[in-house]
Structure 1
Amino acid sequence: MVFPEIELRKFASMGRELGASWEAASTPFMKFEGGKAIAHVGVLELPLWIMGQPVQAAGIHAVATHPKFRRQGHYRDCIEAALEYCNTRYKTLILTTPQPELYYPFGFRRVLESAFTVSCKVTPQKDGFRVLNLHHENDRTLLHRLLDTRRPISNVVGVLSEKPVFLVNEASRPLYYAEDLDTLVVMEQEGDRLHIFDVVADHALSLIEILRCIPDPVKEVILYFSPDRLEPKAQAIPQVLENAYLMVRGSFAAEGQSFMMPRSARC
């Protein structure tokens, strides 16, 4: 990763604007040279729901060394300090990366993931979604309520009430709200193919309920999370989301199951 000083400032500003302080959520481990940061590893707390049980996991994120100071041990110093901090606090550490080989020496292992696909033929009933405008206070309040009270999207791997990572990962993308369902859906439509990345609600609902609120015909849905609660008939397809492999250190009860860590919770 390119050294993230500018990106970190952008994320911190976004979090403050949306009411979820990035500084309060992330514990930094850094090296400095001449008063400037040259290496960084961040730790975030991730409240997950894994195999029917709550798990307080640590998310390792924003791992980077300034290009001028690489191969001098700064990355190792930062990640070892972060791991020492985590060892007494968390049994499960999670990160995603296009370079898994950087983390094997520190006890991380790659865990395979799958997307899930299902063919469908549902007659649209109405245009039941609108895009939230997070510049408006009412929509920000609505989003916070939904995130505060959300039900885990899956009993295999889901997320409990969590805001900082969700907002960093998803707030710059369209967030679709269906008032009749009181549900937020993170989705993208390409022709008659619908990609669903997260569903935020405090109650159970089915894929059909969502599809009936979409005015354009949908023939195929791809779910980027375990479908056991939304559409159990969806078929697993091995996939690496956005070229970022899921890495785990410590216990992970869903290992060996078909699942995907939701994009909204990926560090």
Structure 2
Amino acid sequence: MLREARVYDKSEVYQLWKQSYPTLDRNYLNFYFKHLFDSGVCLIEEKDQKIVSSLQMNRHVLHFHGRKLVCGFLCGVSTSPDYRRRGYMRKLTESMLDEAAHTHLITLVPAFQPRLYEPFGFHTIYYQKQYMIKKEELNKVTIQNVSYSAELKELLEVYQKFTSRFDGFYERTLDSYEMMQKELVATQKQMVIYRDENKEVKGYLIFGMKNGEVHVEEAIYLDSIALLRMLKCAIGKAEEIFINVSPSEKLEKLFPLAIPKKNSYIMAHINNYELFNKLFCCDISSVKEAFALLHKPLWIHETY
């Protein structure tokens, strides 16, 4: 039986996610179910008096071609190993997309398994570039004006300035950054901030350890000095640091020896082409054509 999850299903869905994502950081999983799970819509499939499959959809405001659109973000696709290959994921996805067609124009999903979502009309629209930067490339950089704290308002303001160069990004609020700080504490990640000579925040980095390596998960910066100094601080005693950025960010200009690795990151689905065409005065019939309308490069680094 397919239905929407209720409060008393939460612990069982948690165990299903835990079983389906054995490599997912447990601290992050605990954070998600404590602070975020209840704010989304979760569909579940029950079989043999237990939850055997689930799918979560969170809603956000997306900046898209001069408008602010409510979008859906699918995550937590999970099916118990004993019940896989029975069509439960397809059933949940079709049901969720049917609901999405009545509430918003665009649905996003992580592009970790493109072939899983392509049959439903999803298309990969966003890639990340990962650079590996060696410590010696930062030898001449100082950490002057780099600190570990900032007001939420300052973080939001620098994010808004940074994303003004892009399109396809989430609308963030002070609540977004309050939640981000809770996530940093829960997952033991860190944030470094760079201020200019006038004490104005010009950027921040979020980073943590992954398999013994330093990984930057989000880099917000208004100039190259901010980025370089924050990377210098984040790398610490490590020999190298990994950073994920958008395709339009050319870090090889700062690090000529760094060769980026391209990774699929976000897929999109247009839920109602007729309404989309009416809203944007166009005549598109595919996800690729829809995102080709944008005049600025994409920047989508969200995970839920």
Is TM more than 0.5 here?
A: yes
Q: What is the aligned partner in structure 2 of residue 207 from structure 1?
A: 224
Which amino acid in the other structure matches residue 158 of structure 1?
F
Higher relative contact order (CA 8 A, sep 6+): 1
Root-mean-square deviation over aligned CA pairs: 4.6
Q: What is the aligned partner in structure 1 of residue 71 from structure 2?
A: 57
1:158 partner SS? coil
Q: Which runs of structure 2 are paired with 1:162-177 in the superposition (5 Å)? A: 163=176, 172-177=187-192
Which amino acid in the other structure matches residue 48 of structure 1?
L
Measure the CA separation in 2 of the matches of 1:5 and 1:179. 37
Does the CA contact (< 8 Å) of 2:63 and 2:167 recur in 1? yes
Q: What is the aligned partner in structure 2 of residue 135 from structure 1?
A: none
Measure the CA separation in 2 of the matches of 1:168 and 1:125. 26
Does the CA contact (< 8 Å) of 1:26 and 1:43 recur in 2? yes
Give the 3 Å change call, closer, same or farther, for CA 39–178 of structure 1 in structure 2. same
Does the CA contact (< 8 Å) of 2:127 and 2:246 recur in 1? no
Which amino acid in the other structure matches residue 36 of structure 2?
W
Q: Residues 109-167 of structure 1, C-alpha deviation per residue, up to 9 Å, x if partnerless?
A: 2235242769987642526233x7xxxxxx9xx55984598415341343321649967
Give the 3 Å change call, closer, same or farther, for CA 48–73 of structure 1 in structure 2. same
Q: What is the aligned partner in structure 1 of residue 144 from structure 2?
A: 126
Superposition deviation, residue 102 in structure 1: 1.6
Q: Which runs of structure 2 are paired with 1:211-226 in the superposition (5 Å)? A: 211-212=228-229, 214=232, 222-225=243-246
Q: Establish whether residue 249 from structure 1 lines up as the match of residue 269 from structure 2.
A: yes
Aligned-pair identity in percent equals: 15
Q: Residues 24-71 of structure 1, C-alpha deviation per residue, up to 9 Å, x if partnerless?
A: 322001111243211111101132334554332211101111111112
Measure the CA separation in 2 of the matches of 1:237 and 1:36. 45
Does the CA contact (< 8 Å) of 2:126 and 2:300 recur in 1? no
Q: What is the aligned partner in structure 2 of residue 136 from structure 1?
A: none
Unaligned runs of 5+ in 2: 1-14, 271-286
Q: What is the aligned partner in structure 2 of residue 42 from structure 1?
A: 56
Which amino acid in the other structure matches residue 156 of structure 1?
D
- Number of residue equivalences: 243
Give the 3 Å change call, closer, same or farther, for CA 177–51 of structure 1 in structure 2. farther
Superposition deviation, residue 98 in structure 1: 3.0
Q: Which has the higher helix share?
A: 2
Q: Establish whether residue 239 from structure 1 lines up as the match of residue 262 from structure 2.
A: yes
Measure the CA separation in 1 of the matches of 2:85 and 2:241. 46
Bigger Rg over Cα = 2
